[in-house]
Amino acid sequence: MYELIVFDWDGTLMDSEATIVQCLQKAAADLGHVVPDEAQARDVIGLGLHQAVARLFPEADEAEVDALANQYRRHFLDPERPPSPLFPGAGELLETLASRDYLLAVATGKSRRGLDMELQHTGLGDFFHYTRCADEAFSKPHPQMLLDVIDYLGAEQGRTLVVGDTEYDMQMAANAGSHAVGVSYGVHAPERLQKEGALAVFDRLGEIPDWLRSV
């Protein structure tokens, strides 16, 4: 049924939640803003950086949002920062799907520089036929990022499946006329993903290939 599978990155393939939260908190502290707690910072993961910062700091004007985003980048892109690990089974899943000739892509709230850094660290870049980032298109849940992937790869919207951990991923898929499944171990609870149309929610990445055979 599906020809193209589009993955979110943070919270889906990479266990980067703690790093993102810490970088957001450090940026706030550096610039004298109230430091968000972990739950507040977690909830904006998946959005593009500027949209996430604006939602997290609603009192900030445009210049302050830019400054917070730049400070976040400084911490996240620090070459001394330990790399985040992949979730168990991420590499094996991509190998399996590639062997079945699926088109594979990434649509992420990360910047191009941030994603390229992570693809280099993990060695997963060769699995993906195309990647799209939030500084290249409108942020999720807007469908542009996904539609750009679909158009570039010549796929069909109805035969495209998004795999993500936030309601923003589910909404992006619906807004593009595509389908989505969720993972239970990421940022948003399974109930939020199901409410936004997730066809299934998986506890382990390794469950996805068998599910794909069944649909």
Active site residues: 8, 10
| Contacts for 19 with CB less than 8 Å, ≥ 6 apart | 76, 81, 84
If one counts every other C-beta atom within 10 angstroms of the C-beta of residue 81, the result is 13
Q: What are phi and psi of 182, to 5 degrees?
A: -120, 170
- Give the span between the Cα atoms of 81 and 72, in whole angstroms: 13
- Give the span between the Cα atoms of 200 and 98, in whole angstroms: 21
- Give the span between the Cα atoms of 185 and 2, in whole angstroms: 24
Task: Kindly state the DSSP code that residue 117 receives in the 8-state scheme.
Answer: H
Helices (H) and strands (E) in the chain, counts: 10, 6
- Give the span between the Cα atoms of 9 and 25, in whole angstroms: 21
- The pair of three-digit structure tokens given for residue 137, joined into one six-digit string: 């298109």
Q: Where are the beta strands (DSSP E) in the chain?
A: 4-7, 103-108, 130-133, 160-164, 179-183, 201-202
Q: Are 205 and 180 in contact (CB under 8 A)?
A: no
Task: Kindly state the DSSP code that residue 201 receives in the 8-state scheme.
Answer: E
